[in-house]
Amino acid sequence: MCDRGLKRSVAFWAFVFIRTVTGLAGEGRSVWKKDLNFSPVNGTQMFLYDTFPKKFLWGVGTGAFQVEGSWRKDGKGPSIWDHFMHSDFRDVASIDDSSNSYTFLDKDLTALDFLGVTFYQFSISWPRLFPTGLVANANEKGLHYYNTLIDSLVHRNIEPIVTLYHWDLPLALQEKYGGWKNESVIDIFSDYATFCFQIFGDRVKYWITIHNPYLVAWHGYGTGMHAPGERGKIAAVYTVGHNLIKAHAKVWHNYNTRFRPYQKGFLSITLGSHWIEPNKSDDTLDINKCQQSMERVLGWFAKPIHGDGDYPEELKNKLYSFLPNFTEAEKNYIKGTADFFAFSFGPNNFKPPNTLAKMGQNLSLNLREVLNWIKLEYTNPRILIAENGWFTDSHVKTEDTTAIYMMKNFINKVLQAIKYDRIDVFGYTAWSLLDGFEWQHAYSTRRGLFYVDFNSKQKERIPKSSALYYKETIQENGFSLKESTAASQGQFPCDFSWGITESVLKAESVASSPQFCDPNLYLWNVSGDGLLHRVKGVKLKTRPAQCTDFVSIKKQLDLLEKMKVTHYRFALDWSLILPNGDLSAINRQVLRYYRCVISELLKLNIKSMVTLYYPTHAYLGLPGPLLQRGGWLNQSTVQAFQNYAALCFQELGDLVKLWITINEPNRLSDVYNSSSNDTYQAAHNLLIAHARAWQIYDKQYRSFQHGLVSLSLHSDWAEPANPYFDSHLKAAERFLQFEIAWFADPIFKTGDYPAAMREYIGSKNKKGLSSSLLPYFTDEEKKLVKGAADFYALNHFTTRFVIHELQNGSWYEFDRDVQFLQDITCLSSPSRLAVVPWGMRKVLKWIKKTYGDIDVYITANGIDDQSLTNDELRNYYLRKYTQEVLKAYHIDKVKIRGYYAFKLTEEKSKPRFGFFTPDSRAKSSIQIYNNLISSNGFPAEYSSDLCDQSEEKTQCTFCLFLSQKKPLIFFGCCLFSTFVLLLTIIIFHKRKRRKLYRAKTFQHICHPFKKGHKATLN
């Protein structure tokens, strides 16, 4: 069975590999057939740090109508877009308000030099060369402009890629012939193309006939959103598409026959498309709908040109009454009329979504997937990404942060397609070089890498952050891993704490296994009711209560035994121990339960790190009376917490050596958020409460309990979302000040809040943007707080990408002027936590740099993973984050004393952070963590164990065996004793019988001897 399965698996993957490498025409629908068990951390799906092929082409593009301007200047004739804009866009200023590249060519060339591109894709304005559209005497000034542009590019070693038609049809042809609805335009277009080949072909090696004919036909003659603005006539849409295909084919044959032999160039047509994903990847009907959607858009033009010369069958079947037919001769004439596949993938292919043939499925921006579809449908053609990019709103100037992440994602998908899928992509065109006129959106959106103020006279080209990013990508020819070093080998110190964290441990008030404590005898199901019935008058012997009577403790011990940890961090429930909030009513049974947990853990050689107070968003965790009096806004809660802490130290301190007073007090801003002043006052009281608890321990208990006390701070790292802007760098540091230093500075540094935090709030107050007031510590409080921690405890889960955004209002979140951005290229969890391992090392280095060479415990680190068994995301997260912890310890010399994974068990209806499910089923990540613990890090393959613990481990193993197998050992001892007793009895009886036998034998021998003896005497 296993052998047959293995052979089937090998055969399947061999078929996939062959199909991936070669491509089989018409197999595009297989792209959607996903493996439902596909790993979320599969290397081929994650961001790829690698470089493009050495001869990969990097370029940028523009459309003539969008950027040239000067629509009436130097003899240029009007186009359909000039007419359409001035009739349908009356609220938009003249097209001369665009980038005006016709006048400022030198500025465009400087922008190209800045980027360092290898090609520039631009279009020729047909009416600028031939105002009426007919090829007669060319407009000399227009001709001079394009000659100068091409010569300047060649001089700079920038390859010109020239588009003949980017939607600006001469108005005269529209008015005289009806535009592309009339076949006569095909020959006129061919004449225009021939002229361009003759004049520019000696310097131009790459030609594009038509840019995105789908949009020309669909929006120009169907929806009316594009010029010439005709709408509603479906037959006209497909007639236009038909004529565009024939026009392209005619120009290709013309170039192929007359010009290619000596110009040695290449010619294609840019086809644009969306991408779509099925609602269910295992639903054949949904997959078929996705295939139909792609065929109606991309296949409409791609199948005739790159396929068999005819339209897709789905199109012919559904639109037989509207779709023109190709004759057999036309099919043969059209197919193969492209030297490469020029592909456009941008916002114009997705907007507006209600005009797309979505077929009830989901739009997607996965460029890699659509490239795979092209490869499989059209037999692995050479592909040029002829247009790609995204847009920003018109108010965005140079800080186009979102555009960076969209570009980063798109380009990396292309790299993955090349490296993993063997797709032959030879160039990439970022769109666009400049801000310009964006068709139906006019000037309400921007797509340029360079910002242009349309209202200025000089139209300066100012590089946006996306231009800086693209320049860097071109220089590196891809993506280099800058933030992280190579994997490190090494181990943690021998006394390193490997722990697991749990939230509040709910105590049992009554033992759930009372059978040894209850003296009564019970009969079960006497009357068939399934109940226990006490037998009156019968009393049994009992024994004292034991910790193992609590079933929940047994369960915890079983789980922790599987984890193989040295430490267990859990939280007490303040409201259960002191229900009144003071010492007037102490729940001794709950205290006994927690003491049982700690003592039973010690029997397993697991030490406890105990958290006194663990508030969450859903459960503040305060005793009811304290909550009613205002919680942490009332200073009486500070004294109540001090008393509670002292009680816990007194009752449990002999068994506990590591204490956390409060977990993540810097996150209670989510609870006390009615105003910033409430937030800051609650935080102030929390700090004082912690400090008092620490002082109590230090003065009264440390001398004989020898423990350590701190508080755990939520310490996620912050990265500037846009590293090219100083405001983002400052926002990242400000986030750390408001999030971490807010609590850490008073304790580990100055005894006061961060100066940067106080100054920033003060500056906002002066501007009238906030009325927040950060409390002041008295001199006595400063002495109380400063140094009130024995180590730095941090909870770290992710890295936040932050941007500066000025906000007006008196709330803690507004005082920071920080917003978060999700990096779509990052691996992330179901709850959208970004997996950024190097952020862990950075925050550890920051702690050391800011607060000195202090001991550090990572008290919580983990990720949510949807899987109930094979939690591969958590496995990946554990390995990567602990690797960064090791680097921080060995390379950066951070004094890390322990690492606690988060968390032991997950909770129902919440993100799945647990190593165990709510019903205690183990996940695969347990084994990964076990290996880390047993190896004490990442030792070299042949390294010896630096920690000589063999004797201790043997002793502990024996102790563990004794503690776990008490009943079995007792039974074995009884059995052995019985056996020894029986053996003793048997031996005794055998010896007794042997003595009797000897005695009888002796008498028998001696009797005749005595007679003979007497006779002799006589």
Closest of 283, 273, 215 to residue 29, by C-alpha: 283
Closest of 699, 705, 708, 733 to residue 719, by C-alpha: 733
| Contact between 185 and 142 (Cβ < 8 Å) | no
**pLDDT tens, 957-1002?**
555 555 556 666 767 777 787 887 888 888 877 777 777 666 665 5
pLDDT of residue 605: 96
Structure-token pair, residue 676? 């910033």
Q: What is residue 648's DSSP assignment?
A: H
Closest of 672, 682, 668 to residue 633, by C-alpha: 682
CA distances, 462 to each of 393, 430, 451, 557, 803 (Å):
17, 17, 5, 64, 21
pTM, full prediction: 0.87
Q: What is the C-alpha separation between 188 and 194, in angstroms, rounded?
A: 10
Return contacts of 256-262, CB within 8 angstroms, 24+ apart: 258/194, 258/197, 259/197, 259/198, 259/201
pLDDT of residue 261: 97
**pLDDT tens, 303-348?**
999 999 999 999 999 998 999 999 999 999 999 999 999 999 999 9
- Cα angle for residues 806, 810, 813 (degrees, 5° grid): 60
Q: What is the C-alpha separation between 938 and 886, in angstroms, rounded?
A: 8
Q: What is the C-alpha separation between 35 and 31, in angstroms, rounded?
A: 11
| Greatest C-alpha distance within the chain | 175
> Hunting for tokens 């890699």 — which residue is that?
368
Q: What is the C-alpha separation between 761 and 631, in angstroms, rounded?
A: 25
Q: What is the C-alpha separation between 926 and 702, in angstroms, rounded?
A: 35
pLDDT of residue 332: 98
DSSP string, 204-262: --EEEEEE-HHHHHHHHHTB--STT--BS-HHHHHHHHHHHHHHHHHHHHHHHHHTHHH
| Contact between 165 and 193 (Cβ < 8 Å) | no
Q: Which amino acid, one-letter code, is at 766?
A: K
> Hunting for tokens 């961090």 — which residue is that?
569
pLDDT of residue 14: 37
pLDDT of residue 416: 97
User: Beta strand pairing status for 362-363 and 276-277?
Assistant: antiparallel
User: Beta strand pairing status for 708-714 and 658-663?
Assistant: parallel
Across 553-565, b (16+ Cβ under 10 Å) vs e yields: beebbebbebbbb
Beta bridge partners of 51: 478
Q: Which amino acid, one-letter code, is at 582?
A: D
Beta bridge partners of 497: 898
pLDDT of residue 520: 79
Q: What is the C-alpha separation between 674 and 680, in angstroms, rounded?
A: 11
Q: What is the C-alpha separation between 323 and 232, in angstroms, rounded?
A: 15
Q: What is the C-alpha separation between 557 and 563, in angstroms, rounded?
A: 10
| Contact between 347 and 367 (Cβ < 8 Å) | no
Q: Which residues of the chain have pLDDT under 70?
A: 1-26, 90-97, 511-517, 543, 942-946, 948-968, 970, 996-1018
Q: What is the C-alpha separation between 539 and 521, in angstroms, rounded?
A: 7
DSSP string, 44-63: TTSPP--B--TT-EEEEE--
Give me Rg for the CA atoms of the chain. 40
pLDDT of residue 242: 98
Closest of 630, 641, 772 to residue 695, by C-alpha: 641
Q: Which amino acid, one-letter code, is at 84?
A: F
| Contact between 290 and 32 (Cβ < 8 Å) | yes
User: Beta strand pairing status for 520-524 and 532-539?
Assistant: antiparallel
